[in-house]
Amino acid sequence: THLSTTFQKKQKNTSHTTHHINEMSGARGGLFGAGGRFSGGTDPIMEKFNESIHFDKRMWHEDITGSIAYAKANAKIGILTDHERDVIINGLNEISQEWANDQFELKPGDEDIHTANERRLTELVGKEIGGKLHTGRSRNDQVATDTRLWTVKEEVKILENLAELLNIGANFAKEHVDILCAGYTHLQPAQPIRFSHWILSHLTPIMRDAERLKQMIPRANQCPLGSGALAGNAFNVDRDYLAQELKFDGVTLNSLDAVCDRDFIVEFLNWHALFLTHVSQFAEDLIILNLQKTVIIADAYATGSSLMPQKKNPDALELLRGKAGVALGRSVSLTCTLKGLPRAYNKDLQEDKPLLFAAVDTVHDCVAILSGVLATLTPVEAKLVGTLQPEMLATDLAEYLVLHKQVPFRETHHISGACVRLCEDNSIQLNQLSMEQLQSIDERLCDEGDVKIMDVLTDYSKSVERKQSIGGTSRERVLECAETCLEFAKGLV
């Protein structure tokens, strides 16, 4: 009896809770209202949890563009009359103007950009005509189409911005080609280089990034529209026509895959993580040069301290450096979401767009900031030259013995190292060694005709100019590299 009474109480509580949810439930909207599959509304918390309109509304243009193409395709196969097609297209164009003028009014039940636009269309042209637009189409192939269109558009913009960045950087390198500075490995003085060679060393990976991005676009630019929910279109819609109307490069091969394929987003997220890694490295090097006072960062890209009046912090560069970690997190996040998904569409895929949108926004911002930093950067030649140290010419000393005394390099490496050790023991610089000290290490450390061994230990310009091979530090090769960068940038736009 006790168990029976308890069960009855639970039933009563459950009934009350269900009634309460039904009373308090949100509207499903005109597209998915009660009377079809569902007998009531949704929990308001579920509505909020489920909706994506607050972020996917930024694809309003792509959604309308896709719908216009789909209306034309449906008219071709007789689903719509020419009159109905024109009415729908005029309505969609009116909706487009509302979005463009920030006049589109979102209403309860506008779960996503697709339902919002279709709801507004039926308001404008009536359900009798507006309700025909979605024939044979699913939000599954619709969102895949919108996202591909939006992604490709943004990737093209990014390429244009990268071209500008490369132009700024390459011209900056040409302008300052005669400035010498220290080159480092392990943050230790290594060999003399040109300041421009260092600039171009950071532009080169950005060229690779741009090349990768350009190669990604054809894979993203495939039309999934006409794939339906998963099994294709039952009305024999012309998918080649849809691809042509929407300026896709082709159509997806398999409807089941088309609606759940997010490879193009993963590719972009991976791409932006690598690109921002390169930007981060560039920013870190600039932060170090700023610390050395060998470059001056414009005030526009620095901030002060709330306490210390003298401070000028390279915040723009620090933020550029920090973005790479967040970018890597986005890349891993979506890959983890995808790894266990069954075929075909699952609502988990809704989580792709916040990551994609944030990634695109971050890339646009970072390219703009880095371009501005480079365009306003001032190298301090005297301090850059001041970073040069005689020990950086130890390799030149070894190479002198190879070139002029025909000594095997492994032996010359040992001889030059002994000279460095002698300097350390005597607390002097390499260029302060006397001829007597040099020949105490090896008698072949002497002049050879017009070539003076002391010049090898003192002339940084000759050291830099000797690197004549492609990609080297000679003036000709550095200018050649800058021109290659400029030519490459032209091909991005």
Catalytic residue among 20, 54, 83, 305: 305
- Residue type at 470? I
Catalytic residue among 2, 4, 39, 186: 186
Q: Which residue has the tokens 């490295």?
A: 281
Instruction: Give the integer Cα–Cα distance in Å for 17 and 23.
Output: 10
Instruction: Give the integer Cα–Cα distance in Å for 46 and 75.
Output: 37
Q: Say whether 305 is catalytic.
A: yes
Instruction: Give the integer Cα–Cα distance in Å for 361 and 347.
Output: 24
Instruction: Give the integer Cα–Cα distance in Å for 56 and 350.
Output: 9
- Reference 153, options 141, 164, 145; nearest CA is 145
Q: Say whether 186 is catalytic.
A: yes
CA distance to 107, 127, 278, 325, per residue, from 103 (Å): 13, 22, 41, 38
E-strand ranges in 112-227 read 180-185, 188-194, 222-223
Tokens matching residue 158: 């990014």
H-only helix segments in 188-301: 195-220, 239-245, 255-258, 263-291
Q: Let me know: does 69 contact 245? Beta carbons within 8 Å.
A: yes
Q: Let me know: does 183 contact 191? Beta carbons within 8 Å.
A: yes
Q: Which residue has the tokens 């005709």?
A: 449
> Which residues participate in catalysis according to the annotation?
186, 305
